[in-house]
């Protein structure tokens, strides 16, 4: 249950209802992470624009690699809402629920490519010890596996975005339910 007032779909009017309808049309359903922003409807629009840019725009990172990092960041932050939501999205690409669930609990134990493992390490360290990135060796690890500066920027955007969202979920009390995780258009 949200810790702040939320305007549910059935009570929405005007611009908020328009935004909700657009999200339902494009994504298949309305996410709690968006309804928790209902008091500032335009923040929902900006939020989804940022999300779409980071997660679905053209990138040297695959969509699966971006979802992998989303799961690792959310696991490091112990945010079940985002873990489960993005585990579901990752499974859309991997089609291996056991592997996806293992990623949530210990990415070190999951069979990953060197590149995927390096991205997981980057996502985890930037989340739990961002000050480590004062040392070039951690960023150089990404270059060692062939990531260009563009790909490194994209990886940093993914990690930063999910830390932002995880903190919204935590502070505003967005709860996870099985119904919330399923039913999105990928």
Helix (H) or strand (E) holding 161: helix 149-172
* pLDDT, mean of residues 72-100: 93
* pLDDT, mean of residues 13-28: 95
120 occurs within a structural domain: yes
> Do 77 and 129 sit in the same domain of this protein?
yes
Of 56, 73, 92, the residue that ends a domain is: 56
- How close are the terminal C-alpha atoms of the chain, in Å? 26
Dist CA 92 CA 100 (whole Å): 10
> Do 49 and 70 sit in the same domain of this protein?
no
What total number of domains does the chain contain?
A: 2
Higher pLDDT, 130 or 169: 130
> Do 72 and 111 sit in the same domain of this protein?
yes
> Do 102 and 132 sit in the same domain of this protein?
yes
> Do 99 and 81 sit in the same domain of this protein?
yes
> Do 35 and 78 sit in the same domain of this protein?
no
Q: Please tell me what DSSP assigns to residue 8.
A: -
Is the pLDDT score of 48 beyond 80?
A: yes
Model confidence band, residue 63 (pLDDT cutoffs 50, 70, 90): very high
- Domain containing residue 47: 9-56
- Which three-class secondary structure state does DSSP give residue 143? helix
Q: Which of 64, 23, 27 is CA-nearest to residue 183?
A: 27
- Which three-class secondary structure state does DSSP give residue 28? coil
2 occurs within a structural domain: no
Q: Residue 47 CB: number of other CB atoms within 10 A?
A: 18
Is the pLDDT score of 32 beyond 60?
A: yes
> Do 46 and 68 sit in the same domain of this protein?
no
Dist CA 82 CA 86 (whole Å): 6
> Do 71 and 51 sit in the same domain of this protein?
no
> Do 90 and 164 sit in the same domain of this protein?
yes
Dist CA 99 CA 4 (whole Å): 36
152 occurs within a structural domain: yes
> Do 117 and 157 sit in the same domain of this protein?
yes
- Residue 145's domain is classified under what CATH number? 1.20.1290.10
């Amino acid at each position: 249950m949200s810790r702040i007032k939320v305007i549910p779909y059935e009570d929405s009017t005007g611009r908020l209802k328009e935004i909700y309808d657009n999200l339902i049309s494009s994504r298949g359903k309305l996410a709690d992470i968006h309804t928790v922003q209902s008091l500032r409807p335009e923040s929902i629009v900006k939020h989804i624009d940022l999300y779409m840019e980071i997660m679905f725009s053209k990138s040297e990172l695959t969509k699966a690699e971006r979802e992998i990092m989303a799961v690792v960041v959310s696991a490091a932050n112990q945010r079940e809402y985002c873990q489960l939501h993005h585990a579901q999205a990752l499974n859309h690409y991997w089609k291996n629920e056991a592997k996806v669930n293992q990623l949530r609990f210990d990415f070190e134990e999951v069979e990953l490519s060197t590149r995927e493992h390096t991205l997981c390490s980057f996502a985890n360290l930037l989340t739990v010890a961002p000050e480590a990135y004062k040392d070039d060796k951690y960023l150089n690890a990404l270059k060692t596996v062939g990531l260009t500066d563009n790909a490194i920027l994209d990886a940093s955007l993914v990690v930063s975005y999910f830390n932002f969202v995880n903190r919204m979920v935590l502070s505003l009390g967005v709860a996870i339910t099985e119904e919330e995780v399923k039913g999105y258009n990928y």
